[in-house]
Structure 1
Amino acid sequence: MVKVKVTFGDTTTDIELHRDRSLEVFMNSVFAHIQTPFSNSEYVLENVATKSWLTDQELRNPDYVIQSGAVFDLRHRPSKSVETIEKLRSPDTRKLTLYELQKTQLLDHHFCEDFLRSGGLEVLLQCIEELQGSVLSHALKSLYLLLRIGGVSRSLDESFLTNNVLVHFNSSNIGVCRSAFQVAALLSKQENLGFAGIDACISKMEGGRSKAPYSNVIEALYPKDVSLQVAALSFVNSMLAACPEGCELTLFEERLEALGIREVLGGILKQLQDDQLKWQVYIYQCLSFRYILSMQQTAYDKNVPDHENLLLKYWSLCNPNVQLKDRVSGQWKKLGFQGTDPASDFRGMGILGLYNLVYFAEKYPERLHKLFSRNKERMERDYPISVAGVNMTFVLYELLDLSQASQVLFNIKSSDSDERQKVEFVPVNCQPQKPKSIKVSYDELSSAKSEPSLSRRAKSAMGGSSSYTPRHHIRISLHSSDAHTVHSRQSSPISEPVKGDHFPPVKWGGISDLPLNTLSKKALSEHRIFRMMLSERHSFEELYCIAMETLDQIWDDLNASYMDFNNVRATVSRKLQDALNLNPISIEQFREFLSDSSF
């Protein structure tokens, strides 16, 4: 007797193999462990190491070595795929065959290969075109499972997508609608269709008698069926991840917001219980932070004109009537920088630290000027406001778990050998290193020679959108040469924003699948969903402005001086954390919680 491993789909089972018994007895034992009513005649056991099938003769042959721990794949006989295809052609056997196909057969990657090789895809697509109701649901689910192994989408064009997938977004049959969302989500990642192809098809469908597909997606997010909500939000997340950055992404986000996605998500968050739905909501939250993560990973480079222009814009917003005499000048200290060249103060938070300062100065000029006026009155008790602003960016980065969001969002990857797309959390190197470029292709992520870059979505954020429109459009360059170095200034009581930790590089395009499988309770509990951050477009920036004003108030409450900065920062962090722990639903409610708390 030896113990072997038998795998089928996502299931791996340890089973005792008795050499003195027949193969049929062993197969019955396998089926009993897997608890699925299989038929012995339809399956074989393939030795993963030798790629050979286990037979009665080999089982009883003492010279045939089966080592303990050997792995066997339970797979369909190759002839089974041909039989299945023939049954799909017949209207009399099609219904039961489609049910078995999506329930068990397509969980076997060997069967999938045989099925495709034998022309099964063409027959399946024909079934989808002809069927309706629950049988159509099984057919679409089968297509979804085949799409997950890759290479299938080349057979699908925009006509098929429109007439056989998108049209079912408004189906009254929950199974059909859910499967249509799942198929479309995977097609959004395919080269031949992708975001552009799906969005173009949807645009052509608008204006017809039925509601546009995007409206159907938002409606599916209402609490009708949780599995439908999961599939609909997965489709939204897939489209957001696949959408090109910049203006196109901004317009797509505004389109979803106009249809009420933020309001619908707000309703979901009030009674969020399902683990799969929680995961999709968290992914949506992470996607809304992409431009923040991108800017944080783009080091300020004074050799890049766009970076310098943004810095000069900050000067002009703070001192509209005062001319800066020289780029390197003691005048910068009046704005709260520590030296004559502000470039050295942006380490750790990259261009994000400067972007937040500009946002505050441009959106709320009166409030910022009030901070400068109060600081001037403090005389010997003043603090460097701009450097404090960079520190507040870091505080929020920590409080909102954005380093974890970056790790989850850009390091989820699917196993190439597993069609079921398991969630794999890839460890991130936390040693200081030069930020990598933000790439579109996952295959290029391993390149260590790339220059740090800033996404077009981040550039769009710099230029503003929707509710916030800067007075001067600043284009942020895609190139930067400075790495994010970690160091501390021994002469200053103000800590650098990054105290020994290095945030993982943004790996753009690392989402190869947005999984629907259930995560563990522990894993979900480690990924916080902040209702407030989903309430409006610039929630991070608005929270930053509140943090700056909170710091200024606490500075006076503690009668702090320059050497007390780190203590003040810690107090502000605790106060903000207390308000966040109450999980406010909006920026306004966060202000209320903050005003009610005591430090």
Structure 2
Amino acid sequence: MKLSVQFNDKTKQITYEPASDPLDLRDLTQRICIQFSITSFSDYALTTSTNGTLIERSNLFLVTDGCHLILKPRSTIPQPATGQSVPTLGSSSVAPSATTPTPKPAPMPSAVPTPAPSVTTPKPAPTPSPAPAPAPAPVHTSTSPSPMPTSPQSHTTSPGVTGATSPNPMSTSGSTPTSPGAQQQTTSPMPITFTSVESALSSLNDLSLKKKALFHLKDLLKDETSTRRFLEKDGIRLIEEQMNDLTGNTMAYALIAIHSACQYDFATVSLPMTLVKRLLVMIADPNLIPSITKTCLSILTQYCTAKPNGQRELFDQYLKLTPATSGQYQTLYANILALLSSSTVDIQLNALALINGTLAKSQSDELITVFSKLDELDINTKLRRLYESNVSHELKKQLYVYQKHKLSLIKQRKNVSYSKESQDHEALLMKLWTTTFPSVKLESRVSEQWKILGFQGTDPATDFRGMGVFGLDNLIYIAENHTEQFRKLISSQVERKERDYPVAVAGINLTQMHVL
């Protein structure tokens, strides 16, 4: 989130990555104070630059990407007087009617003449008649569209939306007036809240309520009953229809609402393919704010985990987005792996969680292909950098999960015996030879030449008994990634003495020692 913050005569452009959603106001204020070398954080507060509205927990939705804020000492921020209306975004205060005649209070009977009451502080009579009305208060009108009617006689609100209007100023219920005319003064408008899923969804088409409705939806979808009602009202589709016009934090709130619903598998499996495609496109967009990207990744992980063939469906949908691209595994994984280098820890975490989700849903025969593509994209280097950095506990947990998937593949490959009848196995063996000796032709499948590589006999198949095809996998890895060292080691063993250990056989035994 990029913010423009002014303090006195200085203005700074600040990039702030919220540690939580919604953002922590105290953390935001502290970080901004640090930018201006201020240490007494509690003595300062933030206001909007447009109308000077004090930023509080109840109106954090005012802090959006690209907005302009002002940092001020709290002592310089005027406090509203008791009974006066405080201008807030999307609200208006209504002045009491000046046309209603008000009778004067009856004088108290007394033998002593009573002086006329002061104009500024009239003395109320003990009779129930109304007190003199004060001069009309100024009308405060917000520059944003008002979400409520301004008639002092009546008002209407959407069902389940509270705080959208001020109480009727002519009402006499409530506390006793503290001064003459207090019965006709308006109170500050209550913050708008939504008490039901229906009220929030019905407000999505109201420009003045949309952002706040999306913000509150995540709190309304905390239980299974509310989530089922959300699906019955076609909530996911209603939110998706709004997405073409959403940006910044408003888009983030929309995605977080869907993510809240997806805590239940019955909601996740109902995600429309149009939304899944949209999420796949969004994770490849480097211009989105972090809260959007990390939520997209999390929803895709939930989808991959909840659906029986979730991993396959993700790649199929991505292939439809890029029909001219070959190798959909590599391309989609390239987008995800690029996010492992993000400066936002939550994006790193969710990107790795999505990778782990696809691995968990891959069939055993698919794991070889998937890990091969990941290795081509140099995932090990990226994960090593993550591990060496100051990572969170949750990120370390995801690194451990990835290692478990890799170990499961190792055990699987270890238990696959090498077979001369398998074309795949024979192709791997030929790959080992051509990688090591690209300019030397192998005279025959069974040959004395294999001894040069460090096998015990003329047929290498007999040497893989202990580790299966995984022993061959490791020899190929060394030949491809440490080619010069491998060739030098082999050349030094051409005139092998009795006490020297054959290179290929030594590599297979070392692999077995590490796995066991």
TM-score tier after normalising by the smaller chain length: 0.3 to 0.5
**Greater share of residues in helix:** 1
Relative contact order (C-alpha < 8 Å, sep 6+): which is higher? Answer: 1
Larger Rg: 2
TM-score, length-scaled by structure 2: 0.45
TM-score (norm 1): 0.40
